[in-house]
Amino acid sequence: MIAALVTEIVMTFMFLIIILGATDKRAPQGFAPIAIGLALTLIHLISIPITNTSVNPARSTGVALFQGGWAVSQLWLFWLAPIVGAILAGTVYRWFEADEND
């Protein structure tokens, strides 16, 4: 369970760092969809063997509600990890952004 939690946190963190970087006003215009799509593909290729990949609590909730039982009991992981990963990514990105403004 720890491996799944760490994987989902790290994958969400990386995904949001890529999204924030690709959509930043300093990034080249028009390349964000390519970067984001390739990142999501890579995230799925890396984490499907570990957690069947979420990175999106809404997707996890829909699947778990249809499956029931064991899937619903693991749903906390697929809500907690993306929230933690997103908070970390936002904090780190702001920290990097602050360094550039100095």
| Non-local CB neighbours of 77 within 8 Å, separated by 6+ positions | 1, 4, 5, 8, 51
Contact 47, 5 (CB under 8 A): no
Residue 40 has pLDDT above 90, yes or no: yes
What is the overall mean pLDDT for the chain? 91
Domains parsed from the chain with CATH numbers = 2-101 (1.20.1080.10)
pLDDT tens string 8-20: 999 999 999 999 9
Angle, alpha carbons 83-84-90 (nearest 5°): 90
Task: Give residue 74's identity as a one-letter amino acid code.
Answer: Q
| pLDDT of res. 14 | 96
Reported in sequence order, the residue ranges of the chain that DSSP labels E, i.e. its strands, are: none
Q: pLDDT grade, residue 53 (50/70/90)?
A: confident
Residue 102 has pLDDT above 60, yes or no: no
| pLDDT of res. 100 | 66
